[in-house]
Structure 1
Amino acid sequence: MKDKLYAGLRRFVELCISRRIPVVALIACVTALMAVCAAGVSMKTDLDDLMPRSHPYIGVHERFKQNFGGSNIVSVMLEVREGDIFNRAVLEKVRRVTQELQHVDGVNQFQIISLASKKLKDIRGSTEGIDFVPLMWPEVPQSPEQMAALRNAVLGNPLVYGAYVSRDLKATLVTVDFYDHAIDYQKVFRQIQAIADKARGDGVEVRVTGEPMLFGWVNHYLPETLHIFLATVGFLILLLFLTARTWRGTVLPLLAGVVSAIWALGTARLLGFNVDPLVIVVAFLITARSISHSVQLVTRFDDEIAAGTKTAEAAARASMLALFKPGMLGVIADAGCMIVVLLTPIALMQKVAIIGTVWVLTIAVSAVVLTPVLLSWVTRPNGYAHPLDLSPLLQRVLDVCIHVVTSRWRYTVLAGAAVVFIVSGLYAFRLSVGDANPGSPILWQSARYNQDATAINRQFPGADRMFLVFSGDRPGALKEPEVLQHIAGLQRFMGAQPEVGASLSVADVLPVVNKTLHEGNPRYLDFGKDAQENGELLYMLGSGAEPGDMDRLADPKLQHGSLTLFFRDHQGQTIRTAIARIREYVQANPVEHGEFRLAGGLVGVLAAVNEVLLSGQVESIAFALLVLVICCAVAYRSMSAGVFFMVPVVLSNTLTFSFMAAKGIGMNINTVPVAALGIGLGVDYAFYIVDAIKEELQHGGRVDLRQAITRSLNTAGRGVLITASTLIVSVILWSFSSLRFQAEMATLMAIWLAISAASALFIMPAMVYVFRPAFIVGARQDAGRIEATTTMA
């Protein structure tokens, strides 16, 4: 069977080399067509792609977001340096900002709330009943008396004081929501930034936060991201040129990466997928895999020439034949580990999984096939492009690897790897699911957006919101005193959580109406005695309100009411604690007229995402490891091969997860695809080293295991060393990115590459030498008869 497969592979290689012109022409035509498609691919962030549509929280969010507040709320804070906001110049700015926000694209004009809007009102009693008078609409107070009256009205209104005017009276808040289907983040970002810039000055600082602004900042830095990407590629070209010393060793790996990228982006365009700017890190990671496979082939080609192969065509044929199996095994393992991300029911993750898998699979053509075919045309295989020779330095490193692996140090290496695995594995449990730090983990803490978020959360209860919905069993259920007490009790219970700055519901408004109706007597700061009295209070509240004023508190039938919680941050632990506390209260305090439904708003959406990631993280890693085991078992016809190759994978992942935990990098929707691809990344180099050992034992004549390992490290090991070192140094440029996420993911890539290379150069050969697995040494009778002096050396 093995002979038949080997013969079939030989025929395929011969076909590719002998028909190299049609092969290259076909690849060139497909690449040209895909390039046309790739030119039209859209690069943007879509919030809908981040939502796990099947999660019950998202169902609640989608049903009630139009009234109770969506996930696209933007908060604009105007803060004075001296005095307070109650002066005409500052309040004129508030009015102008409120008016200008009405003209922003995609804005929900009924959800613009500020002192200058009709939404914030003073509740006053009169001989005719209760009046609801806008606090500061349509004009700014002109006289000192009017200004003093406004101040007193704010101080006496619990729905405004602390919520829209800070406790120290130095800041006021303007909030605005958008229609999800109509929002364009780039346009909204530019328009709101222009409004904020116009309002700044004269002792007034303007702060802006909200998901549309965050995505706007990501798009704002897109040109910088592309520049860093190009600079990294340029640096990579330079390093490859220095280490390879040949144009073929420089151009062909880059060509392989470009072809794979074009095919993948063209596929994205054909499928109608947009490309999120944040997944550029994943793109670079896959491109690195393509370059790595191509470098291995070029290195093997150079070794064949150095060994005396007379023609470039024969050397290319031998290189492709020798490395086809480990190359394809690496491609299939990477693709299998990437496709498991598809199990996560989030549109963005599924798009990344599909495009990432296609991207990885294209390496089979761009590197494994195209590189050796093009190598067959090399006219001066023995020539060099520059005199600088780094091979002695590389050889010294390889000599160290050989000495460590073939001496007693190999036991120290394996023991050290075991200790590192145990320690890092235990520490990896500290990895947080969701955001691990306040603000946005996408940007640096010193970024304008995070500084604005910190300032707003310092002055106000919190810019991040989650709404719960009390769904009554019938219309009018919200009028029941038990229901209102239940809602108020949950508000008090959640207020004990430090990260929850405030809450808002109809239960906050009715006592104020009742008190006002009784001439301000504080004894009546409570709900009505029965449903009928509460219904009258709600009628008074609704009759004095403008259309849409009550929408953020309850529906017209008074069956569904919102309870909005304001959070100071949206860290994973904060959200999980809040959800757990809500469930605890609801279970301990049942109410017969309905139930609470979780959860909407930005924090509700993030809660759904985190729960999906938490439930799917272990599952995805387990499936990725299963795919790896199956690939190795099929390729080497041995289940022990799957277990054998898991060693570098689990080591690289535990170390990487430990680093993420130590640096406060959470496992969120942006990092999961990188982590999944990292499982395949952890084993690619090992395939080449181990397969080279196996090939030397089977086809290298009468060589013992030590000689096979030495030759493998001097050939395949050289390719691993060149690829890993050039890529690790190249990704340093990403540390200068204004996007913290990209800088941190670049660091993770460097760690993965370093651990993978170290595992391939030290741990895997040491394991082969110590354990001598049958799928590598085979039935060679002399494989175990290594001289005692060699074993004891």
Structure 2
Amino acid sequence: MIERIAAFCIRRRAWVAGILLALTAVLGWFALHIEVRTVFEDMLPSRHEYVRTHEKFKDTFGGSNLVTIMFEVEQGDVFQKNVLDKVRQVTLGLREVSAVNQYQITSLASKKLKEVRASTDGIESHPLMWPDVPDSAEGMAALKQAVLRNPLVYGPYVSKDLQATLVTVDFIDQQVDYAKVFDQVRGLIAKVDDGSVKIRVVGDPILYGWVSHHVPETLNLVLAAISVTLVLLFILLRTWRGVFLPLLAGAVSAIWALGICRLLGINFEPLVIVVAMLITSRAVSHSVQIVNRFDDELALLPAGAEVSRQAARVALADLFRPGMLGVVADAACMAVVALSPIPMLQKLTVLSVVWVSTLTVSAVILTPVMLSWIRRPHGNAHPFDCLPALRKVLDLSVAVTLSRGRYLVLGISLLVVLGAGLYALNLKIGDANPGSPILWPQAQYNLDSAAINARFEGVDRMFVVLGDDRQPGLIKSSEALRAMNHFQRFIEAQPEIGGSLSLADALPLVNSSLREGNPRYLELGSSDAINGSLVAMLDSVSEPGDMDRFTDTKYANGSVTLMFRDRQGETIRTAVARIKEFIAANPLSAGHWQLAGGVIGVMAAVNEIILSSQIEAIALALLVLAVLCTLVYRSAVAGMLFMVPVIISNMLTFAFMTWKGIGMNINTVPVAALGIGLGVDYAFYIADRIKEEIAAGSSPEHAVRQALHSAGMGVIVTAGVLITSTLLWWLSSLRFQAEMGLLMAIWLSVSALSALFVMPALIYVFRPRFIFAAPPHSHLAEAPKSPFQLA
């Protein structure tokens, strides 16, 4: 069947090439219109308990797109007119920012921060600093004293040393465009930033806005990686076809994938461009293998008019199986990620599977078809021959495989895998370090985050809800209020949680105000009736939206908002475990606790899914790979054999992630899944060439030598070129891209070394029958079997 496919493609080459290039032109138009942006909803595992809570209450208690802006002075305190004027101007300007939630803008200059007072006329409240900034020393001193008396402001919105103050604003999840919000917020800050006040800004819209901000740099790195790839291919292969045909294969696969995804309505996530580059590199790799095999066949065939057609047909027929198996293995291993309930990973899976599948057209078929028009070359494109140096590596591989050194290689490989596997057990789920892992530690965003966390309770928030929709007024009860108060004292014992806020913090202020500010009464009421009255008083002096921080309109559900100083996976897991511990130890007679909303609640849901599915996904991907190899080679031993290089590359890469503190999170999971398929591609070419030589009647020694000097040369060339181009990503301003580029370089290096040293040694020692089954009438039929030969 493969021979017939190869013969048809070469015989009808004009039709095949014309149809493929016409489709490429059509899909290219759609590819140019694909949307490049981050969609927040795609990051949420909608079926998770925490996300359901988040979606239900985010409009009341605050979503996960909170932006925090800090105004910081070096001398004196923030109670200066020029400082507070900037706070007021930014607070008012935020109303005009795209997708802003008007009811979630909070600062000293907003109406939300108030002072509650009691007098003979009753309870009254006054905004601390609205509508204008105090213009006298007396007014500024009064504002300062009002802040110091209010624990809901002094600490949460004005730092304890009085040198910084915050503005917080939330955005509507369904409408937020990170790039637009980023530009508008930075533009607003630029208008008031004269250097006299240090202004810092953090939050997910700002974080992902930085990603969009660096897209031009990312595109430049893509162009640089492509340029390096082409230059190295030209130097190593010394032919123009060795440069332009792999480039054509990569370009066609990219155009087809982006065009098809545009038709499917899938947007392109800027962070996954490393994955896209890696898949495109697979097209280059497959194409180089075919070009290399074409050159080998061209050298063996006598001169003639049809020599290029014959060489192209042989290259297509002989490399069709390993090429297709590599493509299918990559696609199948990546498809496992689709089992995750996270839409972003599901969309990325579709994009990746489509992209990988296009390699069957762009590399496996189009490359040999184009080669069939190549004339026999009269010389090389340049005089510098680097291949002898590479052949020395192949000579070493042959010498090790055919000597006792093969046992040493297998023994060392086993020890390395066991050691790396044990060390990789410490791989962290979620973010492994303070700050965002997307950016470098010295990036302005991470510096701003650290500065705000040092002065305030924490920039990242989680809300936990207590209540029951069927019981309006539940939150006014003494049991609910005391439960929230008790919970806050319990959870704040965790050092990474800087503070918390609930209705149980606001009512004591009202209670104390009723008694002329006597701090002795800074506590909750002693009965349901008293607490109900305190709530009613607070509500009576509030404006629409003021109570949203604490409760819904029916007082059926109340929130406890926790402020986190970092997003590390261990911090989040500890907090969730402690919350569940408290709930189990303190049952309620009415109402129940609901976890968990806010950015930390969403991250907790994502981390739990990754933690629960990581091992299963890896195991399933390995199983898929084993089944594919078993079906293609009709041998269960083939499935086990090809898992060896995958296990080696994955264990070493996971160990490196553990060593460098790279956590397994929503951004790194797709790279890990693709790496499973990546780890076996090179091994397919080596094993299939050995099988081909054995079927032609070669001895095992000659088969190994021929396979390593033919397919092995393609492995060295492609691995060397791709490793070098991939390492360019270390220059990226985005830490995530740099680290993923480094991971891919490690994966490629280990995969290449495994294919050149471990796989030939395994095959030569164990002599699996799916490779060494002798054809009829071959002299191998009478050759003695290896004592290790596997059925």
Cα separation, 1, equivalents of 2:711 and 2:489: 65
Q: State yes or no: 1:320 paired with 2:316.
A: yes
1:591 is matched with 588
* Pair 1:271-2:267 in alignment: no
User: Which residue of 2 is the match for residue 5 of structure 1?
Assistant: none
Q: What SS class does the counterpart of residue 102 from structure 1 fall into?
A: helix
| One-letter amino acid of the counterpart of residue 743, structure 1 | A
Q: In structure 2, what is the Cα distance between the partners aligned to 1:181 and 1:666? A: 28
The SS at the match of 1:110 is strand
Please point out which of 572, 583, 586 is paired with 1:575: 572
Indicate the larger mover: 610-619 or 378-387: 378-387
Q: Please point out which of 309, 328, 333 is paired with 1:332.
A: 328
Q: Percent identity?
A: 57
3-state SS of 1:146 partner: helix
Q: Distance in 2 between matches of 1:526 and 1:458?
A: 29
Counterpart residue number, 2:155: 162
3-state DSSP class of the match of 2:168? strand
**Which residue of 761, 770, 784 maps to 1:775?**
770
Task: Name structure 2 gaps, 5 residues minimum.
Answer: none
Q: Secondary structure of 2:279's match?
A: helix
1:376 corresponding residue in structure 2: 372
In structure 1, the residue corresponding to 2:467 is in which secondary structure?
Answer: strand
Tell me by how many angstroms 1:471 deviates.
1.7
Match of 2:214 among 198, 206, 221: 221
CA distance in 1, matches of 2:551, 2:264: 41
Contact 1:340 1:624 in 2 (8 A): yes
Distance, in Å, in 2 between the alignment partners of 1:353 and 1:381 is: 42
**1 CA distance for matches of 2:81 and 2:519?**
33
Structure 1 residue 18 displacement after superposition: 0.4
- The 3-state SS of whatever aligns with 1:550 is helix
Aligned twin of 1:3 = none
- The amino acid of 1:545's aligned partner reads S
3-state SS of the aligned residue for 1:597?
strand
After superposition, the C-alpha distances for 1:535-565 in whole angstroms (9 at most, x for unaligned) are 1100100100111100111012111001100
| Distance apart, 1:786 and its partner CA | 7.3
Q: Distance in 2 between matches of 1:684 and 1:709?
A: 18
One-letter amino acid of the structure 1 residue matched with residue 330 of structure 2: D
Q: Which runs of 5+ in 1 are unaligned?
A: 1-7
Which residue does the alignment assign to 1:655? 652
Distance 1:629 1:411 in 2: 24
Counterpart Cα distance in 2 of 1:179 and 1:363: 40
User: Given the alignment of the two structures, is residue 451 of structure 1 paired with residue 447 of structure 2, yes or no?
Assistant: yes
In structure 2, how many angstroms separate the alpha carbons of the residues matched to 1:130 and 1:86? 27
Q: Distance in 1 between matches of 2:728 and 2:447?
A: 25
SS of match in other structure, 2:364: coil
The Cα of 1:112 is off from its aligned counterpart by: 0.6
Which letter maps to 1:461?
A: E
1:680 matches 2:677: yes
Of 469, 477, 480, 1:480 maps to: 477
- Map of 1:72 onto structure 2: 65
**Cα offset for 1:479?**
1.5
What SS does the corresponding residue of 1:342 show, helix, strand or coil? helix
Residues 236, 727 of structure 1: 8 Å contact kept? yes
TM-score (norm 2): 0.97
The Cα shift of 1:779 comes to: 3.9
Distance 1:593 1:508 in 2: 21
* Aligned match for 2:499, one of 494, 497, 502: 502
Q: 1:305 aligns with which of 287, 294, 298?
A: 298
Q: Does 1:746 align with 2:741?
A: yes
Deviation readout 1:241-298 (Å, 9 max, x if unpaired): 0011001111111111110000000011001111000110000110111111111000
Select the residue among 710, 715, 719 that pairs with 1:715. Answer: 710
**What CA distance in whole angstroms lies between the structure 2 residues aligned with 1:177 and 1:618?**
36
User: Could you say which residue in structure 1 is the equivalent of 2:106?
Assistant: 113
CA contact (8 A) 1:309 1:315 kept: no
Q: Would the aligned equivalents of 2:61 and 2:549 in 1 still touch at CA under 8 Å?
A: yes
Report the 3-state secondary structure (helix = DSSP H, G, I; strand = E; otherwise coil) of the residue aligned with 2:96.
coil
Q: Deviation at 1:569?
A: 0.6
CA contact (8 A) 1:305 1:382 kept: no
| Residue in 1 that maps onto 2:169 | 176
Corresponding letter in the other structure for 1:660: M
CA shift for structure 1 position 12: 1.2
User: What is the CA–CA distance in structure 2 between the aligned matches of 1:172 and 1:40, rounded to whole Å?
Assistant: 43
Helix, strand or coil: the match of 1:538? Answer: helix
* Residue 143 of structure 1, CA deviation: 1.5
Equivalent residue in structure 1 for 2:350, among 340, 351, 354 = 354
Using the TM superposition, give the Cα deviation of residue 307 of structure 1 relative to its aligned residue in structure 2, in angstroms: 2.0
- Residue 291 in structure 1 maps to residue 289 in structure 2: no
Residues 706 and 786 of structure 1, relative CA distance in 2, 3 Å threshold: farther
Partner of 2:275: 282
CA RMSD of superposed structures (Å)? 1.4
CA deviation map 1:589-647 (0-9, x unaligned): 01111111001100011111111111111121111111100110001101111011100
Aligned to 1:165, the other structure's residue is in SS state coil
**For 1:427-446, what aligned pairs fall within 5 Å after superposition?**
427-446=423-442
Larger displacement relative to structure 2 (164-173 or 176-185): 176-185
Q: Please, what TM-score do these two structures have when normalized by structure 1?
A: 0.97
Shift in CA distance, 713/392, structure 1 to aligned 2, threshold 3 Å: same
In the alignment, which residue of structure 2 is the partner of 1:90? 83
Distance across 2 between alignment mates of 1:164 and 1:688: 62
Q: How far has the Cα of 1:787 moved from its partner?
A: 11
Cα distance between partner residues in 1 of 2:233 and 2:782: 39
The letter for the 1-side match of 2:381 is A
Distance 1:619 1:132 in 2: 56
Q: Secondary structure at the match of 1:551?
A: helix
1:765 maps to 2:760: yes
Determine helix, strand or coil for the equivalent of 2:47: coil
Conserved in 2, the CA contact under 8 Å of 1:199 and 1:206? no
Deviation (angstroms), 1:380: 2.9
Q: Quick one: distance in 2 between partners of 1:426 and 1:382?
A: 55
Give 2:82's aligned amino acid.
Answer: A
Give a deviation string over 1:745-765, Cα, whole Å, max 9, x none: 000010000000000000000
Q: Is the 8 Å Cα contact of residues 630 and 642 (structure 1) preserved in structure 2? A: yes
Equivalent position SS for 2:265: coil
- 5 Å matches for 1:185-196? 185-196=178-189
Distance 2:199 2:181 in 1: 16
Give the counterpart of 2:695 among 686, 698, 703. Answer: 698
Q: Quote the residue 1:628 is aligned against.
A: 625
For residues 694 and 377 of structure 2, the distance between their equivalents in structure 1, rounded to whole angstroms, comes to 28
* Cα contact 2:461–2:564 (8 A) shared by 1: yes
Give the structure 2 partner of residue 4 of structure 1.
none
- 2:190 match: 197
Residue of structure 1 equivalent to 2:415: 419
Corresponding residue pairs, total: 780
The answer to whether residue 17 in structure 2 is matched with residue 19 in structure 1 is no
**In structure 1, how many angstroms separate the alpha carbons of the residues matched to 2:743 and 2:774?**
40
Contact 1:704 1:786 in 2 (8 A): no
Aligned counterparts, 1:32-43, within 5 A: 32-43=25-36
Deviation (angstroms), 1:783: 7.7
Is contact 1:443–1:450 with CA below 8 Å preserved after alignment?
Answer: yes
Q: CA deviation at 1:706?
A: 1.1
Shift of 1:198: 2.4
| Matched residue type, 1:402 | V
Please give the secondary structure, in 2, of the residue aligned with 1:368. helix
The separation in 2 between residues aligned to 1:19 and 1:94, in whole angstroms, is 71
Does residue 1:392 correspond to 2:385, yes or no? Answer: no
Counterpart residue identity of residue 712, structure 1 = A
Q: Deviations over 1:19-61 (max 9, x none)?
A: 0000001101111110011111000011111001111111111
Contact 1:312/1:381 (CA < 8 Å) preserved in 2? no
- State the shift of 1:129 in Å: 2.0
Identify which range, 175-184 or 231-240, moves more after superposition.
Answer: 175-184
| TM-aligned CA deviation for residue 306 of structure 1 | 1.8
Residue 105 of structure 1 deviates from its aligned partner by 1.2
Letter in 2 for 1:430: N
Contact 2:429 2:607 in 1 (8 A): yes
Determine the structure 2 residue equivalent to 1:726. Answer: 721
Moved more, 137-146 or 251-260: 137-146
Could you tell me how far apart the structure 2 residues matched to 1:304 and 1:381 are? Answer: 13
Taking the aligned partners of 2:283 and 2:781, their CA distance within structure 1 comes to 34
Quick one: which of 43, 46, 58 aligns to 2:39?
A: 46
